[in-house]
């Protein structure tokens, strides 16, 4: 399964904590991430991650293109809803593409946990 991992600056530590908590799950899948998030995942977990550009520099659009081309199966995107993002139109486009192409997208830890639970169940069914 191909999983995209994205986190706004104030949520990167939360995403790293989540990944470490579910490290065995993530080891079994192909991972993609935006620039800084990908670098931090590699440094703190040792996981292999295919890195795109930083979100504000086009990384969200790169992930969106992969969604549109059927190359991403799910997205975990820890968003910061309390801080304005300079690339908000790119974020909105990514959310829209996940809906258009029916790609599960989790924007917080609770939803990400539910998505992982579903994916684990789906793999066993």
Exactly one of 60, 80, 99, 102 is catalytic; which is it? 60
Task: Please give the structure tokens belonging to residue 42.
Answer: 């590699």
Q: According to the annotation, is 54 in a ligand binding site? A: yes
Positive or negative torsion for Cα 111, 46, 123, 71: positive
Task: Please give the structure tokens belonging to residue 97.
Answer: 């593409």
Q: According to the annotation, is 35 in a ligand binding site? A: yes
Residue 60 designated active-site: yes
In angstroms, the CA 73 to CA 122 distance is 13
Q: According to the annotation, is 37 in a ligand binding site? A: yes
Q: According to the annotation, is 113 in a ligand binding site? A: no
DSSP tag of 30: E
Q: What is the total residue count of the chain?
A: 125
Between the CA of residue 35 and those of 11, 26, 117, what are the distances in Å? 14, 18, 27
Q: According to the annotation, is 55 in a ligand binding site? A: yes
**Active-site annotation, residues:** 60
What residues are designated binding site? 8, 12, 34-37, 54-55, 87
In the annotated binding site for substrate, the residues are 8, 12, 34-37, 54-55, 87
């Amino acid at each position: 399964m191909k999983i995209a991992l994205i986190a706004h600056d104030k949520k990167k530590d939360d995403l790293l904590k989540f990944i470490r908590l579910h490290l065995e799950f993530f080891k079994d899948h192909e991972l993609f991430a935006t620039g800084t998030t990908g670098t931090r995942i590699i440094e703190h977990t040792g996981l292999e991650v295919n890195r795109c550009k930083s979100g504000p520099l086009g990384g969200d659009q790169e992930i969106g293109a992969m969604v549109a081309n059927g190359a991403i199966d799910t997205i975990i995107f820890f968003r910061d809803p309390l801080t304005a993002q300079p690339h908000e139109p790119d974020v909105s486009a990514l959310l829209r593409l996940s809906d258009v192409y029916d790609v599960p997208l989790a924007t917080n830890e609770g939803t990400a946990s539910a998505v992982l639970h579903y994916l684990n169940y789906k793999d066993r069914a």
